[in-house]
Amino acid sequence: MNVPIDDNLITYLEDLSYLTFSDDEKNRLKAELKDILGCMARLGELNVENVPERSHPFDNVNAFREDDALPSFDRGLILQNAPECDGEAFIAPSAVAG
Amino acid sequence: MMTHDLSALELSRAICAGKLSVLEAVSAAIRLARQNEHNAFLSVAEESSVRRAKKVQEQINAGEIHSPLAGVPIALKDNISAAGTKTTCASKMLGGYTPVYNATVVDKLERAGMIVIGKLNMDEFAMGGSGETSAFGTVLNPWDKSRVAGGSSAGSAAAAASGEVPLALGSDTGGSIRQPCSFCGATGIKPTYGAVSRYGLIAYASSLDQIGPIAMNINDSAALLSVISGPDGKDSTCIIDKAFDFPGGEENQSPGVKIGLPRNYFGDGIDEDVKIAVLAAAKEFEAAGAVVEEFDMPLTDYMIPAYYIIACAEASSNLSRYDGLKYGYRKDGANTLVDVYRHSRSEGFGIEVKRRIMLGSFVLSSGYYDAYYKKALQTRALIKDAYSKLFERFDMILSPVAPTTAYKIGENIDDPVKMYMGDIFTVSVNLAGLPAVSLPCGFDKEGLPVGFQLIGDFFAEEKLIRAAQVYQNLTDHHTKRPGGRC
């Protein structure tokens, strides 16, 4: 598959990944992605018609544990790792500008 | 008594026989960890270790602990959560993160009377094969400090191989236990996927990650695997029925097994010294009564692409949790929610992690999903089926762990494709979910360790460990220590 690795693609991937790169980093990434995707393109040679996708080493469907109520973590303990909190909840900037 | 020259099982026996106290064993390990000669340790839990050593001693004296590893100090790769102990994944992102719960394996270590003395350096978020992507400095190879220790469990292998700690836990997503063991001359086990709980292991690629032991020899590794394996209600993918129970004793029987040797692993691209040492290991098995038969490993050209597509896709999803809000690094001064996400992640992650997130986002994105991610999953199915067929012919497969021995620090770090190709012999094991052991089998002309791996069918750990015990009883490569000690 011929993938155009240009500024538009890098910007698109930055948005998907919630990352921001400098111009120098973007140029480096473009070259690296070209090499890496070139290596991955080998998969195109392989005939996988009718081969099922395998996302996991084994098939393990609906592995339930007993439906017992167990104690939760203490909220204060969890919030100790928060960059900003008010003692009850995480603090985040508004999701809506303005 | 020089505790760092004793194996873990010998150390525990000495403690239980009253020749050595738990506190003496722990203090000796802490002293070496504090010296941190190879930058293997990221933190040392001195106060809690000393406190726990005293408690474990009381339990041993009262006959309350019967584990063959009672009283033994251990260190953890820094992606394994230990309550109240900083767990950074060697990343600025988690530089100030302290878990509030133990990984299941940590609970199991404590029940076995072991003492966690510290956390070990690694490639950032386990992404790397050299220990160079750590945000806290490169791990140095104990055999030559100008060289890498391998990765991603770099600190685990370097600390175990140098005798800084008798046992370590690592994790293996694409070779991250086996390859640093090979580079450092340690012995490690990558268990079957589902043999050891991943609860509390900070995720890289969840369908590939598995925690495993690293030690100086196979008996210590097997004893540690017995401790950490077993079902866990907190991890639905941990499908093992009951914990392994490997005896810590010596095995002298002939392996009597049929071993497959992938001849196409010994062609172009493999160092001559690695080839010679690994083929000599195959000869040792033949001399011990095993039948060794060559075959061509199928699909080798597709293993690296399939692995990196799947691993990066899973990484991009798993690492989306680092948002600068709940825990982890947060960029000051970001005004909007999206700015917090973007600036915190851009400054908190290192370049290799960001590269893999970008790659994962790409292969999962609209327009490229079918050609990359879906195809990689189909290739994974083919690789798994190929192994199933091979295990109808062979009890196990013997192969090199890596095409080279430890290379110079900085030699490959700017060439991601070259770094990824170094995983050529290990990644298919993770894609198929199989167990493998990594054992030292000699040295190259520079005096650097060479390793080989034995790969088995699902839950064939016992078979692999018995074969490894036979090999280590016949050879002394695993007894060689950096600096000329035996």
Rounded Cα distance, A88 and B387, in Å: 52
Positive or negative torsion for Cα B300, B383, B214, B129: positive
Chain B residues whose CB is inside 8 A of the A6 CB are none
Where do the DSSP E strands lie in B16-122?
41-44, 73-77, 115-120
User: Distance, in angstroms, between B474 CA and closest chain A CA?
Assistant: 34
Domain boundaries, chain A: 7-45
Predicted confidence (pLDDT) per residue in A6-51, tens digit = 999 999 999 999 999 999 999 999 999 999 999 999 999 999 999 9
**Can you tell me which residue has the tokens 């908190």?**
B348
* Residue B454 DSSP SS3: strand
Chain A residues whose CB is inside 8 A of the B362 CB are 9, 13, 33, 37
- By C-alpha distance, the chain A residue nearest B335 is A93
Tell me whether residues A20 and B432 touch, CB distance under 8 A.
no
Find the helix or strand (DSSP H, E) in which B32 lies: helix B22-35
Complex confidence, ipTM: 0.96
Strand B258-262 and strand B396-400: pairing?
A: parallel
Mean pLDDT of B418-430: 97
Q: Is B333 exposed, middle or buried (0-12, 13-18, 19+ CB in 10 A)?
A: exposed
pTM of the model: 0.97
Position A64 confidence tier, pLDDT thresholds 50, 70, 90: confident
Gyration radius of chain B's alpha carbons: 21
In order of start, what are the domains of chain B with their CATH numbers? 3-258+395-484 (3.90.1300.10)
B399 is catalytic: no
Tell me whether residues A42 and B336 touch, CB distance under 8 A.
no
pLDDT at A97: 65
B77 is catalytic: yes
Compute the count of residue pairs across chains A and B with CB atoms less than 8 Å apart: 173
User: Distance, in angstroms, between A87 CA and closest chain B CA?
Assistant: 13
Which of B325, B420, B457 to mutate to probe the A interface, most A CBs <10 Å? B325
Choose among B176, B182, B221, B186: nearest CA to B465.
B221
Structure token digits, residue A95: 């999701």
B12 is catalytic: no
Sheet holding B73-77, edge to edge: B41-44, B115-120, B73-77, B167-171, B211-215, B187-190, B436-443, B449-456, B396-400, B258-262, B291-295
- By C-alpha distance, the chain B residue nearest A64 is B236
Which residues is B76 bridged to in the sheet?
B119, B169
| Bond preceding residue B152 cis, omega within 30 of 0 | yes
- Chain B 57-86, residues with CB within 8 Å of chain A CB atoms: none
Choose among B315, B417, B319, B427: nearest CA to B363.
B315
**Residue B258 CB coordination number (10 Å):** 13
Q: Supply the angle between the helices B8-16 and B22-35 in degrees, to the nearest 10.
A: 140
Nearest to A93 among B320, B340, B349 (CB): B340
Q: What does the angle CA B250 – CA B256 – CA B259 come to, to the nearest 5 degrees?
A: 110
* Range of lowest pLDDT (A68-72, B251-255, B412-416): B251-255
Tell me whether residues A42 and B305 touch, CB distance under 8 A.
yes
pLDDT exceeding 70 applies to what percent of chain B?
97
User: Is the pLDDT assigned to residue A95 strictly greater than 90?
Assistant: no
Q: Mean pLDDT of all residues in chain B?
A: 96
User: Distance, in angstroms, between A40 CA and closest chain B CA?
Assistant: 5
Q: Supply the angle between the helices B300-318 and A23-40 in degrees, to the nearest 10.
A: 140
Structure token digits, residue B376: 């990689």
User: Distance, in angstroms, between A3 CA and closest chain B CA?
Assistant: 9
Which residues neighbour A78 within 8 Å (Cβ) at sequence distance 6 or greater?
B100
- By C-alpha distance, the chain A residue nearest B87 is A81
Rounded Cα distance, B148 and B39, in Å: 11
